[in-house]
Amino acid sequence: MTALPTASETPTAATEHVPRAAYGCVAAAVLCAAAVCLASAPDAAGAAAAVLPTLLPLAALHTLCEIPSHRRPGRPGGGFFPVLFAAAFLLPPGAAAAVALPAALLGRVEQRPAGPRRVWRAARLVLAAWAAAQAFTLLGGGPALREEALPEGLVKALSAAGAAALVFCLALAALDGGMRAAVERMPVRTAWCGLLSAALPSYTVHGLGGLLAALLWNGPYGPVAAVCVLTPLYVSSRHFAASHRERAAHHAAVRALVQAVDIKDPYTRGHGDRVGQASVLIGRELGWDGQRLELLRFAGVLHDVGKLGVPTRVLRKDGPLTEAERRTIELHPEFGHEVVRGIGFLGEARSAVLHHHERMDGSGYPYGLAGRQIPVFARVVAVADAFDAMTSTRTYRRARPAAEAVAELERCAGTQFDPRMVRALARALRRHGWQPETTPETTPETTPETTPEAAAAAHGEPDSAAPGEDGRPGVDGNVSSASASGTR
Ligand SMILES: [Fe+2]
């Protein structure tokens, strides 16, 4: 229930208004769950007793796996479904559905009202487990799992388990999408979009884990062997969930900083994101990948976070800057470094925040580093920064074509920019192209129309120096640096 998140999805207790439509969805799910359970209930006491030796340990195991993540705020949550799949493969559909109940009903719920959220969590898992067990049974997976049917039955069991995982995923996607459509009043197609494709790979892995556990459960070592297999799966599942949540938290932190900069300086809104994209283009050409490329993107996105320390009246000044104002603006790399230096996960990206205005000839700021003294991330971001500044539309001029911007970068390679980074960007652009920013980054209502000189100085445009283009001097009085300087 996207509108009724499960306990572990929220770090603190809070009361949230629940729309009436959500209660309707909960009621419908409960009715459906009750109906399928009653329809699947064994019609004889003997049949019920026969499933209990499998149902009770699996329900206890599922509860043991789920409750810790519900009871510890901040601990990664998410379902651990191999136990449910094992139940779907070992038990009749009604009994498999019952395995999900204890954990779903006993687990902690962070947001209020807790009751409906618990009931929804239980109903959706009951329905999904029941549907998966039905699919497995209909495809003949049960007999194929018996010891006497192996190994010939393994292929059939695998096919049935794959189908069960798909059905499990479909059921949850349908329920969650239906809830989202009802609560957020969005088209059903939009609500369901992405739910299935995002979840199917992990459900398939969980289904295979469940099949393995079921095979061992039926084997000579019984439940003990199954638990031995499920334990490493459980540990890796929790580790993966922790990594996923940590990564999401990193992205949220970076996004918050970027939004703060965009609010403070709406004139260059979107510039950070584009510099991040251009930096990644360069990084890929250099053969970087994985975590390093991710950090490089962060570096590009956050390079001007130090604008937060520059007075807004200076950033938005409508007119030429005084020398004191220019010096204040040139402090933004150091302000930015103050902001990010304590953020450990940014790693190497922090050096780009501090040094993205250094120049290869040593005449940049804040420290006047030269050549390879300049951190490599900073050399990449400097090129991406200048490229985006030149290819973005400003209120006093339209964007330059990418080819023209690259020519300008090449002209300044060696003095201002690292030629290797410039060549990498040129190669990447030939390979992938670039969609230059063609719309003004702000509106007259939000930002005053500045003079070209003030805008270039305040926003670090290619000043183009453009001697000739605007007929104005470069920010630092140096034509080449001015012509291809990035945002401040
Ligand atoms: Fe900058």
Ligand 1 geometric centre to CA of 367 (Å):
14
Tokens standing for 235?
Answer: 């540990």
Q: What is the pTM of this model?
A: 0.56
Q: If you measure from the C-alpha of residue 246 to the centroid of ligand 1, how many angstroms do you get, rounded to a whole number?
A: 28
C-alpha of residue 302 to centroid of ligand 1, in Å: 9
Domain boundaries in the chain?
A: 7-249, 265-483
- What does the block give as tokens for 260? 């703060």
Whether the bond into 266 is cis, omega within 30 of 0: no
Place of tokens 């004139």: 267
Q: What is the distance in A from the centroid of ligand 1 to the CA of 278?
A: 15
In tens, the pLDDT along 426-483 reads 999 998 888 754 444 443 333 333 333 433 443 444 444 333 333 222 333 232 333 4
DSSP code of residue 413: B
Distance 332 CA to ligand 1 centre (A): 7
Q: Tell me the pLDDT tens digit for each residue of 187-198.
A: 777 767 667 777
Per-residue pLDDT, 482 = 38
Number of other residues whose CB lies within 10 A of the CB of residue 444: 9
Residues 6+ apart with CB under 8 A from 58: 83, 86, 87, 90, 91, 99
Q: Is 77 left (phi over 0), alpha (psi -120 to 50) or beta?
A: beta
Element (H, E) at 73: none
For residue 302, count CB atoms less than 10 angstroms from its CB and return exposed for 0-12, middle for 13-18, buried for 19 or more.
buried
Class of domain 265-483: mainly alpha
Which pLDDT tens digit goes with each residue over 288-314?
A: 988 899 999 999 999 999 998 888 888
User: 468 C-alpha to center of ligand 1: Å?
Assistant: 24
Q: Provide the pLDDT confidence category of residue 68 given band limits of 50, 70 and 90.
A: low
304 Cα to the center of ligand 1, angstroms? 5
Cα of 382 vs centre of ligand 1, distance in Å, is 8
Q: How far is CA 432 from CA 373, 429, 435, in A?
A: 30, 5, 10
